[in-house]
């Protein structure tokens, strides 16, 4: 077997030739999202002593589809968007991962998110591989009719590589249950009625009760379990949340229901702060009425940057990647950072937080509640049988708590930080499945 040190010498035929990033050993804020995600993978591969062949398989995507998505806009002119579906690894089951509509959703970002899905699905132990999709667009600047046309065309273009037992998309940033309903309909027109082709659908279209709030609910389940292990209190904890979309809103609402105090929230325009605690439902009503949270009257306005530095017990980044970096990691003023977003902490910031003894609950664990209930939705679609909400939430809690316990136990056993423990469990499971299947 070749060893890791052979990597330098390898001729054409290595993972780098098909898109894996060159390994970065000295992390910096300039790393691309895929370099950052791969950094954590390579570190884990070293700890697990994975041989070179296995690294090559796991460092690159299995399949990458880039498509043109032409859309006739409402004013009659045509725009051509770039869309991707990237399947990273399917050793443990059909590919699974969301579809992101965002200006930053380029090939590198979607590759990073696809790889993170492989690790997340393995860690939470659902029978899926990892994938992600994206269309590089600004959904906020598009009408519903333009978004519907974009979604239908994109679905037609990637229809060849998705499937009930092949690859099952879901919502992510910039997409929602409505987007999934359009996808299901567009796919069904060609391939026949297939509700399980996407998850995160509206409940009346075969969606699962509890899916909409599942990621935010899972974030709080995991946080509560972690605070118990760390012998700190969740009840009464002061929480600051960046991002007030699907994940941020539900995390805020459930945290409040569970007795914590949400002192700050934000959206893309900025944040609001109230040391006595914000009333989450009122903030939510305000954002729907006014188009954002920043003009909410019962709080002080603050920037997104300042929100991350607020003095609190728990900081939850729930928006985009790379927001905690070398420039602000020294100023984070919370003993616990809970990564609800994907990749919110750059590898260099991660090292600074570790040095400062700040505990980081890693994204592949924290936000796995969404894909877990997506798995339940897929199961319900296949069985044509609907679960009750209490059953969904109880099963979700079991899985979130089990995975959290496993990560804490591994971290204790190996004396590593929680992210390393989470990656080691996940990479080990995927490598084992790849080996059993005979990939290497």
Residue 179 found at the interface with ligand NAD (CB under 6 A): no
Residue 62 found at the interface with ligand NAD (CB under 6 A): no
> Side by side, which strands form the sheet with 63-72?
63-72, 78-89, 129-136, 95-102, 167-171
Report the nearest approach of ligand NAD to the CB of residue 140 (Å): 9
Of 246, 346, 380, 393, the residue at the interface with ligand NAD (CB under 6 A) is 246
Q: Report the C-alpha gap between 222 and 189 in whole angstroms.
A: 39
41-47: Cβ within 8 A, 24+ apart: 41/115, 41/119, 41/423, 41/427, 43/420, 43/423, 44/420, 44/423, 44/424, 44/426, 44/427, 45/4, 45/427, 46/4, 47/414, 47/416, 47/420, 47/424
Report the nearest approach of ligand NAD to the CB of residue 438 (Å): 31
Q: Which stretch binds ligand NAD (CB under 6 A): 156-164, 262-270, 380-388, 401-409?
A: 262-270
Residue 247 found at the interface with ligand NAD (CB under 6 A): yes
Report the nearest approach of ligand NAD to the CB of residue 174 (Å): 5
Which residue's Cβ lies closest to ligand NAD? 245
Alpha helical stretches, state H, 230-345: 246-257, 280-290, 304-308
Residue 95 found at the interface with ligand NAD (CB under 6 A): no
Q: Which stretch binds ligand NAD (CB under 6 A): 55-63, 85-93, 244-252, 346-354?
A: 244-252
Of 2, 268, 379, 417, the residue at the interface with ligand NAD (CB under 6 A) is 268
Nearest residue to 355 via CA among 417, 402, 311, 293: 417
Task: Identify the DSSP state of 245.
Answer: S
User: 236 or 291, CB closer to ligand NAD?
Assistant: 291
β-partners of residue 324 are 345
Residue that the structure tokens 């995507």 belong to: 61
Q: Report the C-alpha gap between 185 and 412 in whole angstroms.
A: 48
User: 4 or 205, CB closer to ligand NAD?
Assistant: 205
Exposed / middle / buried, residue 315 (Cβ in 10 Å: 0-12, 13-18, 19+): buried
Residue 339 found at the interface with ligand NAD (CB under 6 A): no
Of 126, 162, 260, 320, the residue at the interface with ligand NAD (CB under 6 A) is 320
Known catalytic residue: 9?
no
Q: Report the C-alpha gap between 390 and 195 in whole angstroms.
A: 22
Task: Lay out the site mask for ligand NAD across 341-370 (x = CB under 6 A, - = otherwise).
Answer: xx------------------------x--x
Q: Which two tokens stand for residue 37?
A: 């995600």
Residue 171 found at the interface with ligand NAD (CB under 6 A): yes
Q: Which stretch binds ligand NAD (CB under 6 A): 152-160, 236-244, 273-281, 396-404?
A: 236-244
User: 35 or 213, CB closer to ligand NAD?
Assistant: 213
Confirm if 62 and 135 have CB atoms less than 8 A apart. Answer: no
Residue 226 found at the interface with ligand NAD (CB under 6 A): no
Q: Which stretch binds ligand NAD (CB under 6 A): 9-17, 178-186, 241-249, 391-399?
A: 241-249
Window 377 to 396, contacts with ligand NAD (CB under 6 A): none
Residue 218 found at the interface with ligand NAD (CB under 6 A): no
Check 96, 120, 132, 149 and give the catalytic one. 132
Alpha helical stretches, state H, 3-64: 33-47, 52-59
270-273 vs 261-267, strand pairing mode: antiparallel
Supply the residues annotated as catalytic: 132
- Interacting residues with ligand NAD (CB under 6 A): 171-174, 215, 242-248, 266-268, 304, 318-320, 340-342, 367, 370
């Amino acid at each position: 077997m070749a060893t890791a040190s052979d990597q330098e010498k390898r001729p054409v035929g290595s993972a780098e030739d098909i898109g894996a990033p060159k390994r970065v050993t000295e992390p910096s804020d300039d790393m691309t999202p895929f370099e950052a995600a791969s950094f954590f993978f390579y570190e884990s591969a070293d700890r697990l002593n994975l041989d070179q062949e296995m690294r090559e398989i796991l460092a690159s995507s299995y399949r990458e589809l880039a498509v043109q998505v032409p859309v006739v806009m409402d004013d009659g002119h045509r725009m051509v968007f770039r869309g991707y579906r990237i399947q990273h690894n399917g050793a443990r089951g059909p590919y699974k991962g969301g579809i992101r509509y965002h200006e930053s959703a380029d090939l590198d970002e979607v590759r990073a998110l696809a790889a993170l899905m492989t690790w997340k699905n393995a860690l939470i132990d659902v029978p899926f591989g990892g994938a992600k999709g994206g269309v590089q667009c600004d959904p906020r600047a598009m009408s519903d009719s333009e978004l519907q046309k974009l979604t239908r065309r994109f679905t037609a273009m990637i229809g060849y590589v998705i499937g009930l037992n092949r690859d099952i998309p879901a919502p992510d940033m910039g997409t929602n249950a409505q987007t999934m309903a359009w996808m299901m309909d567009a796919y069904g027109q060609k391939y026949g009625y297939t509700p399980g082709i996407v998850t995160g659908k509206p409940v009346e279209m075969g969606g699962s009760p509890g899916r909409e709030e599942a990621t935010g609910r899972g974030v709080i389940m995991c946080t509560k379990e972690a605070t118990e292990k760390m012998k700190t209190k969740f009840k009464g904890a002061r929480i600051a949340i960046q991002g007030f979309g699907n994940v941020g809103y539900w995390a805020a609402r459930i945290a409040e229901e569970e007795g914590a105090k949400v002192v700050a929230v934000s959206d893309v325009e900025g944040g609001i702060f109230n040391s006595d605690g914000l009333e989450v439902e009122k903030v939510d009503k305000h954002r729907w009425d006014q188009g954002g949270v920043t003009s909410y009257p019962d709080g002080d306005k603050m920037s997104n940057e300042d929100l991350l530095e607020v003095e609190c017990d728990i900081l939850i980044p729930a928006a985009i990647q790379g927001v905690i970096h070398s420039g602000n990691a020294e100023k984070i003023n919370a003993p616990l950072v809970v990564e609800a977003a994907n990749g919110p902490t750059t590898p260099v910031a991660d090292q600074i937080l570790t040095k400062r003894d700040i505990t980081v609950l890693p994204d592949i664990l924290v936000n796995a509640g969404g894909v877990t209930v997506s798995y339940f939705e897929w199961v319900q679609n296949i069985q044509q049988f609907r679960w009750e909400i209490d059953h969904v939430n109880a099963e979700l809690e079991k899985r979130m708590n089990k995975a959290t316990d496993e990560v804490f136990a591994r971290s204790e056993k190996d004396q590593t930080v929680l992210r390393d423990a989470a990656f080691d469990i996940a990479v080990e499971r995927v490598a084992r499945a790849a080996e059993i299947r005979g990939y290497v």
